[in-house]
Amino acid sequence: MNKWGKLKSGEPVRLRDIDPAATPDFHGSKEDAEKKRPKMRTALEDLQELMWAEHRRRLLIVLQGMDTSGKDGVVRYLMDGFNAASARAVSFKKPTTPEVEHDFLWRIHALVPGDGEIVIFNRSQYEDVLIVRVHDLVPEAVWRKRYQQIRDFERMLSESGTKILKFFLHISRDEQKERLQARVADPRKRWKFNHGDLDERKLWNEYTKAYEDALEKTSTAEAPWYVVPSDRKWYRNYVIGSVVIETMKKFGMSYPEIELSDVVIE
């Protein structure tokens, strides 16, 4: 595993060996990370504007994780530094009837970024090798083929000019319990609670195995997975913000040249 929890292609994944409360590659406190936040927000804003002006690159950010792992929180953190004119967040829920009647990637492909755009997927195509597997919604012979189909899909996107960053928000079962209890206790957060969350929590081990297989089988050079310890929300946000900024800086973008010799402003 490389910096920021980046997985190597085909690297075996054992989530139990990764501490969800750890803060690797960051030598500081929560306060230190928060002091860096204004500078990171400015960097995200400037890089996004440059990307939109250049209008060549595309960036897809995929967020996956157990219930309460913080996907919504990461979306808020990133979108706070982005202009909604060229950045959007997409949440994938239970497929509609038309979506079910097509291949599982049909609804995904329609929402990937276009030139100059940044798109954040809150859940994604990976639900079709996660919840579908755990709840036995399709035969094993079907969902097992989807690892290769996802790899092929992501390679096609990459070859077409889309940079893909995938983050697994890794929390502990104890931390999930605390977050669920906090939702129940706070009237302002109670609307987020769903009794079905408790049924899903009982399947923790099954989901863990499904995630391990998905991470191992679909982390590639063109679409890597990052396993981000997420018990500490501030660290989770700092890591993902840092990876996004580092990635966009490597694009080597520049503002387009505009011919001004014949421009007259009266």
pLDDT digits (tens, 9 = 90+) for 68-87: 999 999 999 999 999 888 99
pLDDT for the residue numbered 77: 96
Count the Cβ atoms, other than its own, within 10 Å of residue 160. Answer: 9
pLDDT more than 70, % of the chain: 100
pTM beyond 0.85: the answer is yes
Structure token pair of residue 211: 């995630």
CA distance 203 to 219: 24
Distances (CA, A) of 108 to 38, 114, 167, 182, 222: 33, 13, 17, 32, 18
What average pLDDT is seen over the chain?
95
pLDDT for the residue numbered 260: 80
Please give the average per-residue pLDDT across 181-204, as a whole number: 89
Nearest to 165 by CA among 59, 76, 47, 78: 59
What is the per-residue pLDDT across 1-54, written as a single tens digit (0 to 9) for each? Answer: 789 999 999 899 999 999 999 999 999 999 999 999 999 999 999 999 999 999
pLDDT for the residue numbered 229: 98
What architecture is the 3-249 domain classified under in CATH? 3-Layer(aba) Sandwich (3.40)
pLDDT for the residue numbered 195: 83
Question: Edge-to-edge strands of the sheet including 58-65?
Answer: 87-91, 118-122, 58-65, 162-170, 225-229
